[in-house]
Amino acid sequence: MIHKTADVQSDKIGIGTYVWQYSIILKEAKIGQNCNINCHCFIENEVVIGNNVTVKSGVYIWDGITIEDDVFIGPNVTFVNDIYPRSKQYPEKFVSSIIKEGASIGANSTILANVIVGKFALIGAGSVITKNVPDFTLWLGNPAKQVGFVTKEGVTLNLDLIDKKTGEQYAFNTANEPTKK
């Protein structure tokens, strides 16, 4: 479903994807199946978005950004793709960043250029990511720092792998995922 006020120039959009009001998607962008692109979003040409991705309102995804399957991008998240920007001076190639499978990025966070946000990582609202984020980690602040871990299911753990709500102890399994002991 593409809303009548959206400007969608790409024909590379998967089945079941919704594009809402006033969003713009440029010709070469690739978007997977069952995505939800909320209103007032902008997606440039050299962007790849996987399946089952949610992009909330006010997000601009610039050339060089790859978003893998099952990712959540909160409202007004900012991506950066040029480390040394200057007006009317463009790099030969924009810097890439990758948001890995299952990651969640909280509202108003900023993801600087040339970073990888790991699988199922959780970035707290308003955080500024300046370096790579490992899989299954929880980051907060400006600049963001790791404050814990997170499971595939979204259970947040402190740095000692203890569930913040229940007090249950977790450990890393052979796939390097935190699981209950």
pLDDT in tens, the chain (181 residues): 999 999 999 999 999 999 999 999 999 999 999 999 999 999 999 999 999 999 999 999 999 999 999 999 999 999 999 988 999 998 888 899 999 999 999 999 999 999 999 999 999 999 999 999 999 999 999 999 999 999 999 999 999 999 989 999 999 999 899 999 8
In a domain, 44, yes or no: yes
Domain extent for 77 = 7-83+93-142
Let me know if residue 47 belongs to a domain.
Answer: yes
Contacts of 89 (CB under 8 A, 6+ apart): none
Residue 42 included in any domain:
yes
Give the global pTM.
0.95
- Whether the link from the prior residue into 85 is cis, omega within 30° of 0, is no
What is the rounded radius of gyration, in angstroms, for the C-alpha atoms of the chain? 17
Residue 177 placed within a domain: no
Whether 112 is in a domain gets the answer yes
User: Strand locations in 101-176, DSSP E?
Assistant: 104-105, 110-111, 116-117, 122-123, 128-129, 137-141, 144-150, 156-157, 170-172
Domain count across the chain: 1
Distance CA(59)–CA(56), nearest Å, equals: 7
Count CB neighbours of 115 within 10 A.
18
Residues in the chain: 181
User: Has residue 166 been placed in a domain?
Assistant: no
Residue 159 belongs to a domain: no
| 63 is a domain residue | yes
Encoded amino acid at 103, one letter: A
CATH number of domain containing 62: 2.160.10.10
